[in-house]
Structure 1
Amino acid sequence: MTDERHDATDHDHDHLDGHPDDDRDAPEPVTVLGLGPMGTALAGAFLDAGHPTTVWNRSPAKADPLVERGARRAGTAAEAVAASQLVIVCVIDYDAVHAIADSAADALAGRTLVSLTADTPGRAREMAAWAAERRVGYLDGSIMTPTTTIGGPDAVILFSGAEALYERHAAALAALGGRRVHLGADPGRAAAYDVALLDMFWTAVSGIAHGFALAAAEGVSATDLAPFAKGLHELLPWTIDEFARNVDSGHHPDPVSSLRSITAGMEHVVHATRARGLDDGAIGAATALARRGVDAGYGADSMSRLTELLVRTAGSPVSG
């Protein structure tokens, strides 16, 4: 980012918000729309960092604890938006974001809207287009850690959208703590990271639930199995790094175990699952995908080849 770009952006926003230069060192006022557990945590972090914080929620009583800590309660979303140049919205999905933003569209003009609402990359891009049509600055973000981390060193939050806009509000966003990463101008990129990482996480967690069920069906307690299950985490960092290298290079050598041998092992799990009358939907689907790879002639390759197979079937190229 050049100095000219940064200066021009600051000048534009100074014109919009009317704040004189000597106010820039003061904590930036922030508005938080949506006070579920995460929205409440976000507002609390801004308050703790000394930011004048205005809050709004469809159910006003949810703001009570924050008001006791010094937040200002707004009667409407539009009133809340009017209180700050930086507006954070964190609600259940983008249907809720649109309902709130539509009701406050006039007040949002000339301000920055940061959505920390989880949804799809496509919906994030649609929201960015909505904002651009109404002269609203827009950043999209994905929170990758629990509410208890917000404001502390363990928080991880990903942002995407215009870099100049992100830099302008970086000092205020620092109140959210931990690691904050700007991923680029594409407003859907943070959500893309989010859905991909959640895909990995929830698939793994559902596997844990299924594995405990299979163990129980064989008379093995979850407590007895747990120490061995924890040992699996030592394999994951290596597997992730290997897959990432292979997927990005397009080469899928098999240094340890081939897709063919892995598929055979997965089929054993499916047979054991069915023998005990358990649902085999998740492991069955995973095994069917692996079998497709073998049948396509990739049996000697790494299991990372399945990423390429999935993308090719969907008709879109693998991109980094």
Structure 2
Amino acid sequence: MTPHSEDKTPVTLLGLGAMGTALARAWLAAGHPTTVWNRTPARAGALAAGGARRADGPAEAVAASTLVVVCLLDDVSVGEVLAGTDLSGKDVVNLTTSTPAQARARAAWASDRGARYLDGGIMAVPPMIGVPESGGYVLYSGPRDVFDRHRDTLAVPAGTTYAGEDPGFAALQDVALLSAMYGMFAGTTHAFALIRRENLDPAAFAGLLTGWLTAMAPAAHAVAAGLTADAAPEEEVSSLAMQVAGTPTFLDTARQQGVSPELLAPYFELMRRGLTERNEAKNPKGLVDLLLR
């Protein structure tokens, strides 16, 4: 601990996987008295050597601090670990990946036990934790006053973004952002498969690819504008009809290169449905509503 640790908010951390360990190290480095617990006690050894207090069980760990951070495998694990603890007066920050419905149910569960609750979605990987310039951040949702009370402490491992009073909003936006990421990964995987057998330098192509994806990213703002009820009509740049007409070229190229179209075909099918079912030839943003069941 630093010489000024007595001025820092104590933190209890339950769960010492790769992410939990990174979080604990960040708080320790910043001088926060940190109590840790993990089902596998050996994982706490290095942190204890670095100044953390190692609790013998979840109840002891929860009792050590008002601010209790949970970073476990899943929502079931959260319920199991906290079941035998006294949460009265505690501020529980759950950084376990969950669905919006699970986050809302867990918030009610915590309230019934006398705790205040924030849900969090970590938009970072462990090496980004404690590195301000990495760009990593955590989405938080739940009572604004609880977030404001602990904002400085929560900002130690990564940046903080308040997602709203609804406890499910952090999980919702977390999954939405990661879903877009996986869509990008799918396109990137297909792109590299197309050039895989050719005499092309993958590193040079990666430069072209990242530049192109960066240039296309602002299209998200156009989609958002189109979903706003009072948005003014935008000038048509690339109609859905024109894009659908061009899809055979992409599929033919994949066939000629010996590449499966399985990553592109579902989106192309959605585009075709947009034309035939909703007559959205001049509004590609209508595809969003087409996905709603």
Normalised to the residue count of structure 1, the TM-score between the two structures is 0.83
Cα deviation code 1:242-266 (max 9, x no counterpart): 1111122466645311011112233
> What is the aligned partner in structure 2 of residue 41 from structure 1?
22
2: CA distance between counterparts of 1:299 and 1:136?
48
Cα deviation code 1:59-98 (max 9, x no counterpart): 1111112111100111111111111111001122212212
Does residue 240 (structure 1) correspond to residue 201 (structure 2)? The answer is no
Superposed, 1:4-43 pairs within 5 Å as 26-43=7-24
Q: Does the 8 Å CA contact 2:36/2:61 hold for their aligned counterparts?
A: yes
2: CA distance between counterparts of 1:299 and 1:135?
50
The DSSP-based 3-state class of the residue aligned with 1:183 is strand
> What is the aligned partner in structure 2 of residue 112 from structure 1?
91
> What is the aligned partner in structure 1 of residue 57 from structure 2?
76
> What is the aligned partner in structure 2 of residue 94 from structure 1?
75
Does residue 147 (structure 1) correspond to residue 126 (structure 2)? The answer is yes
Does residue 230 (structure 1) correspond to residue 210 (structure 2)? The answer is yes
2: CA distance between counterparts of 1:39 and 1:204?
27
Q: Compute the RMSD of aligned alpha carbons.
A: 2.0
Cα deviation code 1:283-308 (max 9, x no counterpart): 11000000011113445324222112
Change (3 A) 1:108 1:265: same
1: CA distance between counterparts of 2:52 and 2:254?
53
Q: Does the 8 Å CA contact 1:252/1:302 hold for their aligned counterparts?
A: no
Q: Which aligned runs of 4 or more in structure 1 are off by greater than 6 angstroms?
A: none
Q: Does the 8 Å CA contact 1:254/1:301 hold for their aligned counterparts?
A: no
Query: Shift of the alpha carbon at 1:162?
Result: 0.8
Task: Report how many aligned residue pairs link the two structures.
Answer: 285
Query: Shift of the alpha carbon at 1:279?
Result: 2.9
Unaligned runs of 5+ in 2: 1-5
Q: Partner letter of residue 309 of structure 1?
A: L
2: CA distance between counterparts of 1:298 and 1:222?
40
Cα deviation code 1:85-130 (max 9, x no counterpart): 11001122212212212232xx222211100111211111111111
The DSSP-based 3-state class of the residue aligned with 2:76 is helix
Q: Which has the higher helix share?
A: 1
Superposed, 1:48-197 pairs within 5 Å as 48-104=29-85, 107-153=86-132, 154-177=135-158, 179-197=159-177
Query: Shift of the alpha carbon at 1:141?
Result: 0.7
The DSSP-based 3-state class of the residue aligned with 2:263 is helix
Q: Does the 8 Å CA contact 1:252/1:305 hold for their aligned counterparts?
A: no
Change (3 A) 1:53 1:137: same
2: CA distance between counterparts of 1:226 and 1:155?
23
The DSSP-based 3-state class of the residue aligned with 1:35 is coil
Q: Does the 8 Å CA contact 1:121/1:189 hold for their aligned counterparts?
A: yes
